[in-house]
Every structure is written in structure tokens, then in C-alpha cells.
Chains A and B, each alone.
Chain A
Amino acid sequence: MDAALIEARGLDKTFAAVPILRGVNLAVAPGAAAMIVGRNGAGKSTLVRLLAGLSTPTAGEALLFGHPSRTLESSARRRLAVVTHQSFLYPNLTARENLEFYADLYGLKDAHAEIPRWIDRVGLASAADARVRTFSRGMEQRLTLARALLTHPDVLLMDEPFAALDADGVALVAGLLRDAVARQCAIVLTAHQPIAIDGLTFDQYEIVRGRLLALSAEPSGVSASVRQAG
């Protein structure tokens, strides 16, 4: 098995003496995807922030590419994409300008040529030159996905990427995830409930009282393109 691109070792996080995560262990190899489910406040977003290096663990280690995520080198950060509840989009820039900004920020000259294709792929071709502040939550989420995947990341951390999306949007995310796994991207995504995607096998986990519990792996080839477990 390839070395894990995403790894948590005995990760603890405590806020104001309240333990949020306790002894979380996780390893995601290239081309693998982990889905972490949990109730509101279970600690899913906290775990994503810790893995991304946006937050410091109280104990344990969060590693990306084998290095502590909190102190990643610039070259490693170039290979990371994060989708959170916040879109990271500038409301007064258009969809195209936002993607151009991120392409420049990541020093991706070739990405400029890909921007129209990404805008088209996420179904925003007719709104490419509209300012993001006029977008609905679902449109913002679609553009957020394009923003994250534009850089062809090797590690993708997604906090509830299906939130605010309609059925077409969910199918879009599913397609993007399949493509990312196919090119050996390691993925961690969170959701309130288990979600199955055709052609994609997730290692499934649930956060219960701060502990990450492994569930059975989701079999691929589920008949419905997307199925939400009740």
C-alpha cells in the first residue's frame, strides 16, 4: 500500500476544556477516499481544520504528505485543496475572476486555459461574468468546487461538500470525486449521513463522542447514482 497522504495520529482537540476530538487515527492513501459522518457538533469540521493545518491539535499529529500539516512547505500546500462551509470566494469578483485569482495565487499559468472548461463543468457558464455576491448558495458551492479542483490537488479535504446542492449538484460532486480518485487524489470528506456514489468506494467512519469509529467500507456500484442512508 502507498504511504498515506492524509494521516491523523492520536489527534486530540479541546476547546475551553471541552474535548471535541479524542485519539483520532486516520490514514488515507493516494486514490482512496474516506467519508466521515457525524451529527451536528460531532467534530467533523474541527477534524477537517486540523487535517488542513488551520488549527493546532491539543495532542497528536495531523500529517499531509508525511509532514505536519500545520507547517507545510509552500510546495506541499500547492498540492492541497480544501472545501469548507466558507466558500473562499470574493463576493465582488465574478466567477471567472475568482478562478483567475486562484490560478495566479497557485502559480498555475496553464490553469487559465482550463477556467472556461471548469466553469462549464460546474454548470455556471451563463453566470461566468456575474459577481459572486449575486449567486445563490448552491451556485457558490459549485464555484467553490471548481476553485478547489482547478489546481489538480493530490489531497482534497471537503467539509460537507453536498450541502446546499440540488440533485444535479450532488451528481456533479460525485463525478468530480470519481475523477479525483481516478487520478490518485486522496480524499477526506464529511457528511451528516452516509452517502453512496456509483463507482466510488469510501472507507467510512463516524465520529461519536469525539472518537472516530471505523464503519464497513461502502461497496462500489450502488444502483442509485447517489443514495442517502436514512
Chain B
Amino acid sequence: MTGFVAVLRKDLRLEARSGESTIALIALSLLILVVMVFALDPAGGVRDAPTAAAALWIALIFAGMTGATRVILAERDNGCLRALVLSPLDRGALYVAKLLAAFIFMAIAEVAAVVLMVLFFNLDFDSRLLRLAPIIALGALGFSALSTLLAAISGRIRAGDLLLPLLAVPMFVPALIAGVKASGAALTGAPVSAFAPWLKILIAFDVIFLATGYLLFDHVIAED
């Protein structure tokens, strides 16, 4: 447990010091939302909640890929990933520590993205946003779990950062559809029962991604 806490605390300390991940993630979210607003309705005016939800999830996906990549790449400096592999820390615990760091960076970016979404899409700061919170938290957790594993794979390959979106996005599509549907329903004020099935799909994919990452991370970071 101390090793797990040490890795997580170190990642958060490095991020607090440089701000590289969160600044990049927030800037990316801002860029995506601005582009979406102008692409969907350049003349301005009232936007619908489902469209806002779709824009938010696009921002979530791209921000998540950036966050996970940076969490893994930080360990490639000076061979630090090798040090972690050689340490007594269980590889599964290492995976959870890294995905948790990616999730925290992603969650910070998502808070900023939600605020921007409300402003850009002329929505209200009301209780509907509270219903949105668990949906995007589940989405961020699942995507962090998937992209942390895939970032560890792509980090070993030449131009692997180009490979990450090619691998991550198609695999996340079912969860993405569920997330967009659930978020759209939550933002329109539909009852929880209306989007509960989508939430169940999100939870199922989170479990799959977490279990897969936990079991495979050891093999992924091992060298030939």
C-alpha cells in the first residue's frame, strides 16, 4: 500500500509542480468545445442539451488520451518505469496508481469542460449538472483505465502516440455511446430511470476495462 501511495503522491506532486497535464487537458477541452460550438451553430443562439453532451464527451476522450499518455511518458524519463518494475510494488497496484493519477487529471479537466459547456451551450448551472457528475465520472474512470493500459503499450512503439487514438477510440465506442446518451438525458432533465440502462452499460465497460488493465499491465510493461 505504501508503494501505491508513493507512486500516486509522486505523480500528483509532479503535476502540481509543472501543471503540464491539467493545463494541456483544459486547453484541449476548451479548443474542442469552441470548435464544436462554431461547427454546430456559428450564428449563436440556444443549443440543445444532447449536442452539448456529445461535445463534452468528445472533449473527454481527447483530454483523457492526453492525460494517460503523459502519466505513462513521465515514467519513461531516465528509465523510471524500469525502476518501478524492479521495485517491490505489485504491478497491478502500479497500474491502479497510474490510472488513478490519469483519472484525477482528467476529472480536473472535466470540471473545467463542464463549466465551458454550460457557458458555450447556454445551459443553466442547476441540479441537472449534479446528475451529470456520476456519468462523466464513470466515463472518465473507464477511459482512464483503457487509455492507461494502451498508453503503456503505445509508449513502447515508435510513433506509438499516433497509435493510441487508433486503439483507444474504437474500443471505447460502446461506452462512449452510452455516456453521450446518459449525459444528454441527464442534461434535459429526464428521470434517472430514463438513462439507468446507459449507466449500467458504462459500469459494465468500466469493470471490463479495469479488470483487463489490472491483469495485463504486468505483461505490457515487461521488456523482451
Contact = CB atoms under 8 A, between A and B. Distances in A.
Interface residues of B, number: 28
Interface stretch (A74-82, A113-121, A163-171): A74-82
Interface string B77-115: 111101111111110000000000000000000000000
Interface band, chain A: 20 to 34
A8 B90 CA distance: 25
B82 A86 contact: yes
A68 B9 CA distance: 32
Interface in A133-160: none
Interface stretch (A25-33, A88-96, A217-225): A88-96
A96 to B, nearest CB: 12
A101 B17 CA distance: 15
B17 A106 contact: no
Given A88-B80, A105-B87, A107-B2, 19 more contacts: A52-B86, A54-B223, A55-B224, A56-B222, A78-B88, A86-B79, A86-B82, A88-B83, A89-B78, A91-B78, A93-B10, A93-B14, A97-B13, A102-B87, A104-B2, A104-B5, A104-B6, A105-B88, A106-B3
18 contacts: A52-B86, A54-B86, A56-B223, A84-B82, A86-B82, A88-B80, A88-B83, A90-B10, A90-B80, A91-B77, A93-B10, A93-B13, A97-B13, A104-B5, A105-B84, A106-B88, A107-B2, A107-B3
Interface of B: 2-3, 5-7, 9-10, 13-14, 17-18, 74, 77-80, 82-90, 222-224
